Amino acid sequence: MDGDQGGAEDEPPSLLWGLDPVFSAYARLYVKDILQMRESRQVPGIYFYKSHPLFQVDVLGTVVYRRERDDFYCYGVDDSTGVINCLCWKDEKWRDHGDLAKDAARGPAGGGFNVEEQLRKLREAQRSSSVLEIGDLLQVRGSLKTSREQREIMASSFYKVNDPVMSVQISRMQEMPQLYRDCYDKPFLIPSSELSASSTDNGRPSSFQSVLSQSVHILKEFLKEKEVTRFRPYDVEYLLHPLIQQPASNTSAEREPGSVRSVIPAQIRNLLKETLKILQVEGEIFRKVMSQDEVYNVTEHDKDLLAAICDILRKDCKREKYAEKGCHVLHILSSVRQCYSRNLSREALDVALKFLECNSDIISTTDAHYTVL
């Protein structure tokens, strides 16, 4: 498949990206195409395969190199079209190999069912599925990042695939061409109703990017002025109502169920959805817990998050390893994910660290190391 985006058409307005089902899914693309995709000019961290915006991918391939750090593994995954680096965070409970060995040596306490023994076996199975060697088959899902001009995957989930007769790989090989034909290679077509609903009274198309920029600015100012710590989308939806221009009063239009007037609420919801995505990408907000109750935490006003970062630095900077330069930002991120929220993004951590440094709670010793004052 040709993933070269050099001659791609202009990006669709970011306000309408959510209408493309590929945008919300983990796209099963060939590594070659992932490496060649261009980054959005509107929103950093969003990439385009042809006309489809996306930021999450699902890759299956063989581990061809492996690097281990204190907090994460770097696996090079080869799907036979290319190799991509995958950053896979360790889970704290899988790190203590000594305890696992002691538990295994001790064995079950009695002859019957032993809860601790079963939990130990489950824990060991989880750990072994996340520690891979060269030649193992890895399935990884995560968001795309560009670091040091190289494309990589920040894994949200990953595991070793046992595939002795290659049934998983064969199934994937059969599925991928069909996905490309039926979905990825077909253009993202914006429904005409959305285009008509986004035009002004005199028929001239409005600038989606301009409206989105205003929306982001309004929400930022509101969160800062009111010192909001957390909110739900419906708490702030009313702030965006002035940005969606209401159509002129028209008796016949009001009677028509498919009129522009009936589309206004959907336009506001789409605008809010895209605004929240941008604020997440920028690290201004994050979701502490991924649940049906869609709650967003405001990074700079989350006192529990700020306290957790300071506690980690106070504790770990006493260790000999971090005494001189302080803690690396990736170590801080891993520690905060373990003790506070697994969903915290690097961007949100950067915002929190900058806020703490401006308040003189912490100090940076290098571009990527921090310590307490």
- Reported as a single tens digit per residue, the pLDDT across 305-321 is 999 999 999 999 999 98
pLDDT band at 34 (very low <50, low <70, confident <90, very high): very high
Residue 5 has pLDDT above 50, yes or no: no
Kindly tell me if the per-residue pLDDT of 202 is higher than 50. Answer: no
Top pLDDT among 239 and 98 is at 239
- The pLDDT, as a whole number, for residue 227 is 92
Residue 146 belongs to what domain range?
14-184
254-278: pLDDT as tens digits? 444 444 444 567 788 888 988 999 9
User: Are 123 and 75 found together in one domain?
Assistant: yes
**pLDDT score for 264:** 62
- For residues 91 and 229, membership in a common domain is answered with no
Q: Which residue has the higher pLDDT, 343 or 60?
A: 60
Question: 247 with 356, same domain?
Answer: no
The pLDDT > 70 percentage for the chain reads 81
CATH of residue 317: 1.10.10.10
Final residue before a domain boundary, out of 223, 252, 281: 281
In this structure, how many other beta carbons lie within 10 angstroms of the beta carbon of residue 27?
22
Residue 93 pLDDT exceeds 90 = no
Averaged pLDDT, 7-32? 81
Average pLDDT of 120-148? 84
Residues 178, 85 within the same domain: yes
**Which among 288, 325, 319, 309 is positioned nearest to 359, based on CA atoms?**
309
Instruction: Judge whether 165 lies within some domain.
Output: yes
User: Which of 315, 372, 345, 331 minimizes the C-alpha distance to 92?
Assistant: 331
pLDDT at residue 107 in the model: 52
Which one of 139, 161, 184 terminates a domain? 184
Token couple for 6: 């050099």
Averaged pLDDT, 364-368: 91
Highest mean pLDDT, choosing among 67-71, 96-100, 194-198, 279-283: 279-283
| pLDDT class of 291 with cuts at 50, 70, 90 | confident
Same domain, 83 and 126: yes
Total tally of structural domains belonging to the chain: 3
Q: Is residue 254 part of a domain?
A: yes
83 and 151 in one domain?
A: yes
Domain match, 246 and 368 both:
no
Q: For residue 8, is pLDDT > 80?
A: no
Contacts 24+ apart (CB under 8 A), 242-249: 243/211, 243/214, 243/215, 243/218, 243/271, 244/211, 244/268, 244/271, 245/200, 245/201, 245/206, 247/201, 248/201
Whether 192 has a pLDDT exceeding 60, the answer reads no
Which of 184, 207, 240 is the last residue in one of the domains? Answer: 184
Backbone angles phi, psi at 59, to 5 degrees: -125, 140
Same domain, 176 and 59: yes
Query: Same domain, yes or no, for 173 and 102?
Result: yes
Predicted confidence band at 252 (pLDDT cuts at 50, 70, 90)? Answer: very low
The verdict on 246 and 134 lying in the same domain is no
Indicate the SS3 state at residue 311: helix
Q: Region 125-147: what's the mean pLDDT? A: 86
Determine the pLDDT at residue 92: 61
- H-assigned helices in the chain: 21-24, 31-36, 97-106, 115-130, 167-179, 192-197, 208-226, 233-236, 251-255, 264-281, 303-316, 329-339, 346-358
- Kindly report the CATH number assigned to the domain that includes residue 70: 2.40.50.140
Domain membership of residue 112 (yes or no) is yes
Residue 199 pLDDT class (50, 70, 90 cuts) = very low
Does 194 score more than 60 pLDDT?
no
- Does 65 map to a domain? yes
Residues 253 and 326 in one domain: no
What is the per-residue pLDDT for 211?
83
Highest mean pLDDT among 38-42, 85-89, 98-102: 85-89
278/289 Cα distance (integer angstroms) = 19
Task: Determine, yes or no, domain membership for 7.
Answer: no
Nearest C-alpha neighbor of 331 from the set 357, 358, 368: 368
Look at residue 238 and tell me whether its pLDDT is greater than 50.
yes
pTM: 0.56
Please give the pLDDT value at position 307.
95
Whether 190 has a pLDDT exceeding 80, the answer reads: no
pLDDT score at 257: 43
Backbone angles phi and psi of 372, in degrees to 5: -90, 155
Report the chain's mean pLDDT, rounded to a whole number: 82
Q: Coil, strand or helix: which one is 38?
A: strand
